[in-house]
Amino acid sequence: MAASLGPTPLIVLALDGAVYAILMLGIVASRRVSLPRVDDPNVAFGLLEKSVMRAYPDLKDGFTWREALARIKGIDARIDWPNVMATLAEYEAYKYGNGDRPAGSLSEVVRLALKIRMKDRIGRGN
């Protein structure tokens, strides 16, 4: 005759499942990166420049944005490259005195900078 263990094993299994679910949610949440809101093009492109220089130290000082973007173009297909290129053109016109401050969103530029940093960390084994 089998002995009845009561509800204890079911409670332990339920708690185990809850802990596992919370752990998995924490892992998923930690992998999501929220983009900081950047309104200043100098800050956005400064972040991009630092990311590029760290990820590609072989780029010479005074590299052009076209050289840098040619290197990183394959980093992520989900980047809106036409938006990045249009924002870059507006930024260069603004920076060198031929245009107004970029009016569009700088979120793709910031997103690209963060993607480069994440790729750089993965490549370095950190």
Any idea what the Cα angle at residue 80 is, between residues 119 and 99, rounded to 5°? 110
**Tell me: the pLDDT tens digits for 4-36?**
667 788 888 888 999 999 988 887 776 666 667
- 64: which 2 tokens? 């052009």
Hey, how many other C-beta atoms are within 10 angstroms of the C-beta on 68? 20
Please give the chain's pLDDT, 126 residues, in tens.
455 667 788 888 888 999 999 988 887 776 666 667 788 888 999 998 898 888 888 888 788 888 888 888 777 667 888 888 888 888 888 888 878 888 778 888 888 888 888 776 544 444
Distances (CA, A) of 109 to 24, 63, 117: 30, 17, 13
